[in-house]
Structure 1
Amino acid sequence: MDLPVIDLLVFIIYLAAILFFGISFYFKKGRTTDDYMVGGQRLPSWAIGMSIFATFVSSISFLALPGKAYLSNWNSFVFSLSIPIAALVAVKFFVPLYRKIQSQSAYYYLQERFGPWAKNYASICYLLTQLARMGTILYLLALPMNALLGWDISSIIIFTGIFVIIYASMGGIEAVIWTDAIQGIVLISGALVCLLTIMFSMPEGPGQIVEVGREFDKFSLGSYGLSFTEATFWVILIYGLFINLQNFGIDQNYVQRYMSAKTEKEAKKSTWMGSMLYIPVSLLFFMIGTALFAYYKVQPGLLPENLQSIVEADKIFPFFIVTELPKGVTGLLIASIFAAGMSTISTSINSSSTVILTDFFKTYSKKQISSKIEFRVLVVSGTIMGILSILVALAMTSVKSALDAWWALSSVFSGGVLGLFLLGFFSRKIKQMEAGIAVIIGILVIAWMSLTPILVTAEEWVSFRNPLHTNLTIVIGTTVIFLSGFLLNLMFRRNNKATI
């Protein structure tokens, strides 16, 4: 599909501006590794807040949320409703904790509680999760770009990956946060322009969207029943709460932002801003999906037959962007989709390089490390993580469902770490061995819940499969680790008393 020259120019100029802006931080005089990892703790709260928001949003959100709303209803929006609860816990407990220990790594706390094994376990899980995350986003970003621009999927993956590696690995957290702030503004602007265009293109005006939406129950938040085998309101709410506790509590991406603020008060302010901004923006994406449904419902002739299938719902928004938006605006929307993807990938590259330096290189290096060597390690490790993510994305092209693969992997890794963190945070009595056994039990439960729906297909083994909804994997896994740790502690204490 050939884009008009003006749209292509808007897209190229945007990418070039982001690239040169990000690289400019590399040449900043007197720059230290502290600047690279936490921006010298002098970044303004509003920019950090925008960066937290941009970390929440990816190109998957930009395309998948409208696709979900188009296909069904606003059930997935319930995830956003859990954010204020998680944000409250973050500003009350997590932000003060990390500001107090003054470590650039989110996993130093686990070493303090349970020893080096806990930190190494969490750090390795984090790095593996980020590789899967970056690879999935690169791959899923390439799909709509292929539809929008007609470029080869593998070429888009390689181009996007190299592009982000350059400014993220060279520019450090300052480049990531400031480009995130810019890209967050572009993303919101593009989505608003799109919604307004749809609203005022309706034959009977914007109100017709509400009428069609109500007629087809598009504004429903899902069933309020207590079933745990389907995506009810309560299942999505509980899932969202645990995922967001994981984000705010143990995700290096967020912890680095807590540490980048000037003061603890500023860190809390940026946490509230970034998390609360996501709620209306995600609502905007759902509204776009519902508006698109109404738009093509009352004007069915505008939608090609090949896009009227249920499985093509995620392609409706890209089709609208290319065919219905004014010239120039299409280029802005494509830039917005790229912005969402790049902000997430650049954040992962920077945070991964920080973990590699602080948790492994500095910990196990026998020699005194100079600031110059530290900086080189950060740049090289960020580049390597970026290259590996490109390889993961290319491998995703042969996977039946990239999203299913990502959900399964992230559940196995993150669930175990969140449970371990909560054990250490809420009880000073839990010992290393008890925590280790609890994590093993939890990982086995998480692996069973995540992998049996994929691997167990024979009819005689159906009863062995996880009967609960997929979203409950992290909830059950984390709870099992948490409760197992306490039960093991009670058992060992009773055995010790009995021996005495």
Structure 2
Amino acid sequence: MQLNTLDWSIIAAFFIVSLGIGLYASRNSGDSTKEFFLSGRNMPWWLLGVSMVATTFSADTPNLVTDIVRNNGVAGNWAWWAFLLTGMLTVFVYARLWRRSGVLTDLEFYELRYSGKPARFLRQFRAIYLGVFFNVMIMATVCLAGIKIAGVLLGLNAVTTVLMVSVVTVIYSALGGFKGVVITDFVQFTFAMIGAVWAAVYIVAMPEIGGLDALFAHPVVSGKLDIIPKFDDPAVYVPLLVVPLAVQWWSVWYPGAEPGGGGYVAQRMLAAKNERHAVGATLLFNAFHYALRPWPWILIALASIVVFPDIASLQAAFPDIDPGTVKDDLAYPAMLSYLPSGLLGLVIASLIAALMSTLSTHLNWGSSYIVNDWYQRFIKPEASEKELVNVGRISTVVLMVLSAILALALSNALQAFNILLQIGAGTGLIFILRWFWWRINAWTEVAGMAASFVIALSFLFYKIFAQLPTPDTDPKTFFAGWELSLRNKFVTSPTLPHLEGWEQLLIGVGLTTVIWIAVTFLTRPTDAATLQEFYLKIHPGGPGWGPVAASIPAERTVPLSEPLSLRIAAVFIGAIAIYSVLFATGFYLYGNLTATLISSIFAVGGILFLWYNRAKL
């Protein structure tokens, strides 16, 4: 496969446009940290919503979906579809609260909600833990996807790929700040969606596939089409559907789907013109993220099963790629290698766009933590705005370098996805309740964070020990077992019981929840004055603030409690509407017109409910 002049021209034009936007936005981005990280809190809902969805549309996302579909079928996507419930909770409950808080970053929230040294520790620690370590892990998975795509489609090695993408992304992110990121996201999302849809249409029509009917009738594909898994085998429907919908969505902290909002989603809500724009942005994000984007990726993933039925066939087709990185997620870029000139250039540009939009957001978001919640708050409070912006630009470069290095150590997107889920297991409920229950304190979050991390680490070691031989008198034999365990990716042996990923998740959630609840009641609550000020500023409503509201002196104005019943109803009705659009699209592609009609009716009903109550919501 060779790219011609047209392909390279399209790719070059995309890079030039991205750099041009960065230069344009750099005119005001260096004026202050508020401008560099939030664009002056004056961004419209539609631009912020598209920016959110562009960020989650990373180059590793179609690879991840392909990995899921090849292993667990279409229904396997409930591992991330379930997070729509989290997203709708943010839309109708938390978006207005975040915008009302007026903080620069979501970590600043800690010293608004909690008090004393624990609050300061939590803010400082999370600034480094999330802004650097966790953030670097996420960006590394994005870079890994870029490495695989460039290896298949461009024949580039890992180092060359990372250098090319990193340099351009760092330049426009460091120059243009948040405004440059958001405007570039809009352009990149347009590129990415056109490329994904066009590629899916072409690939499905290839002679090797033969169109939709032939694809869905193929023996290796027909068993993977269920949108909702069949309920005849608990070993299938429990991990694929029950656990994500019953536990995962509210219990797990995952970037872009944080319970209670947070991360770069919170950053965009905080940058909105007002509360209504914050709500509109998050609603647009969830509708696009779950209803608009998945099917082009799913179709290509299903087609890849026909062309590359197993990993051996992928390795045979691309012998020059490191065998350690040839996993099921490689099938997505492998299918794109069949695209013709012109379309190939557009699709490659779209994937570069998806990759860069995610990287730029995480770079700006991570540097905002380093600057606002670490450097300015704890290192140099008297720093000038110019100095703070310069620290933000330097940290942008450092984060990119660390991410590039880590990317070379990962092997597949699903591996990283599962690691991130397990690390955040059990902490999600804290982020939901801290807005509506006064008793949650800083030690609650410290305990939840520490417990989930230790438990995730314990499961990692459990996998290693599950394969070790019994120690004997020959040290060489014992340590050879360690080497074998690591080399074979922790394939469990009969020496210890095997735990599936969903079982580990449930255990992690249960243990972490018990620990943080116990710590909550064993430690002192947040200072009364801090709780009162938080209630007066945010007025979250709900019975969980009853004692605090009653303690506020009569001379101070106590805001009216806002009813939550309508908003909670909107969460689930809105989720049903978006799921119905997702289902209707899938059933239409499958040729099931009856199911399409039923799904469409539910979608229209949900949309009408939200429209009728829009003023109250």
TM-score range normalised by the length of the shorter chain: 0.7 to 0.9
Of residues 27-36 and 86-95 in structure 1, the stretch that sits farther from structure 2 once superposed is: 27-36
- Residue in 1 aligned with 2:248? 239
Q: Residue 431 of structure 2 aligns with which residue? A: 421
Give the share of equivalent positions with the same residue, in percent. Answer: 19
Matches within 5 A, 1:433-472: 433=443, 436-437=446-447, 439-454=449-464, 456-458=466-468, 467-471=498-502
- Report the secondary structure of 1:151's partner residue: coil
Q: Tell whether the 8 Å contact from 1:248 to 1:255 is kept in structure 2 after alignment.
A: no
For residues 141 and 105 of structure 1, the distance between their equivalents in structure 2, rounded to whole angstroms, comes to: 29
RMSD over aligned Cα atoms? 3.4
TM-score (norm 1): 0.85
Aligned to 1:219: 225
Deviation at 1:257, TM superposition (A): 0.6
Name the counterpart of 1:496.
Answer: none
Uncovered stretches (5+) of structure 1, i.e. residues with no partner? 298-302, 494-500
Give, in whole Å, the separation in 1 of the partners of 2:334 and 2:259: 35
Partner of 1:497: none
- Name the residue aligned to 1:15: 15
* Deviation (angstroms), 1:348: 0.6
Q: Aligned residue for 2:590?
A: none
- 1:455 positional shift: 5.8
| One of 162, 169, 175 as aligned partner of 1:170 | 175
Which residue number in structure 2 is paired with residue 54 of structure 1? 54
Unaligned regions of 5+ residues in structure 2, if any? 471-491, 525-617
2:75–2:240 contact (8 Å) kept in structure 1: yes
Deviates more, 1:281-290 or 1:441-450: 441-450
Pick the aligned partner of 1:385 from 399, 405, 412.
399
1:269/1:455 Cα in 2 relative to 1: closer, same or farther (>3 Å)? farther
Distance 2:498 2:94 in 1: 33
**Residue matched to 2:602:** none
Residue 194 (structure 2) pairs with residue 189 (structure 1): yes
Whether the 8 Å CA contact 2:229–2:241 is kept in 1: the answer is yes
CA distance in 1, matches of 2:119, 2:331: 50
1:133-212 matches, within 5 Å, as 133-202=138-207, 205-212=211-218
1:221-370 residue pairs with structure 2 within 5 A? Answer: 221-222=228-229, 224=231, 225-227=233-235, 231-237=239-245, 238-240=247-249, 242-243=252-253, 246-247=257-258, 249=260, 251-279=262-290, 280-293=292-305, 306-307=316-317, 313-323=328-338, 325-366=339-380, 368-370=382-384
Deviations 1:20-58 (A, max 9, x none): 222321124884321211111222211111111122221
Deviation at 1:164, TM superposition (A): 0.9
Higher alpha-carbon deviation: 425-434 or 12-21: 425-434
Asked if structure 1 preserves the Cα contact closer than 8 Å seen for 2:22 and 2:176, the reply is yes
Distance 1:435 1:150, change over 3 A: closer
Contact 2:229 2:236 in 1 (8 A): no
Q: Distance in 1 between matches of 2:210 and 2:404?
A: 46
Pick closer, same or farther for the CA change 1:194–1:366 going to 2, 3 Å.
closer
Amino acid at match of 2:374: F
Q: From 111, 132, 155, give the equivalent of 2:137.
A: 132
**In the TM superposition, what whole-angstrom CA distance separates every residue of 1:210-250 from its partner, at most 9, and x where no partner exists?**
33379631212445454499843223444355356853535
Question: Do 1:179 and 1:343's aligned partners in 2 also have CA atoms closer than 8 Å?
Answer: yes
Q: What is the DSSP-based 3-state SS (H/G/I as helix, E as strand, rest coil) of the residue aligned with 2:260?
A: helix
Cα deviation for residue 286 of structure 1 reads 0.7
Output the CA distance in 1 between the equivalents of 2:137 and 2:449. Answer: 21
- Whether contact under 8 Å (1:32, 1:375) holds in the other structure is yes
Structure ranking higher on relative contact order (CA contacts 8 Å, 6+ apart): 1
Report the more deviating stretch, 364-373 or 461-470. Answer: 461-470
AA in 2 matched with 1:170? L
TM superposition shift of 1:392: 2.2
Q: Is the 8 A contact 1:50 1:180 kept in 2?
A: yes
Letter aligned with residue 261 of structure 1: A
**Letter paired with 1:249:** G
> Hey, what's the Cα distance between the residues in 2 that align with 1:69 and 1:191?
17
1-structure distance, mates of 2:340, 2:53: 28
**Conserved? CA contact 1:10–1:331, under 8 Å:** yes
What CA distance in whole angstroms lies between the structure 2 residues aligned with 1:206 and 1:439? 46
TM-superposed CA distance for 1:403, in Å, is 4.2
Tell me what 1:483 maps to. 514
Q: 1:475 to 1:171 in 2, by over 3 A?
A: farther
Aligned partner of 1:482: which letter?
T
Hey, what's the Cα distance between the residues in 1 that align with 2:522 and 2:42?
48
Q: Please, which moves more after superposition, 134-143 or 188-197? A: 134-143
Bigger helix share: 1
**Aligned in 2, Cα 1:351/1:196: closer, same or farther, shift over 3 Å?**
same
CA distance in 2, matches of 1:357, 1:108: 11
- Structure-1 separation of matches of 2:330 and 2:522: 55
Q: How far is the alpha carbon of 1:259 from its aligned partner?
A: 0.9
1:49-128 mapped onto 2 (5 Å cutoff): 49-70=49-70, 72-111=72-111, 112-113=113-114, 114-127=118-131, 128=133
Contact 2:467 2:495 in 1 (8 A): no
Please tell me whether Structure 1 or Structure 2 has the larger radius of gyration of its CA atoms: 2
Aligned partners of 1:122 and 1:417 also within 8 Å: no
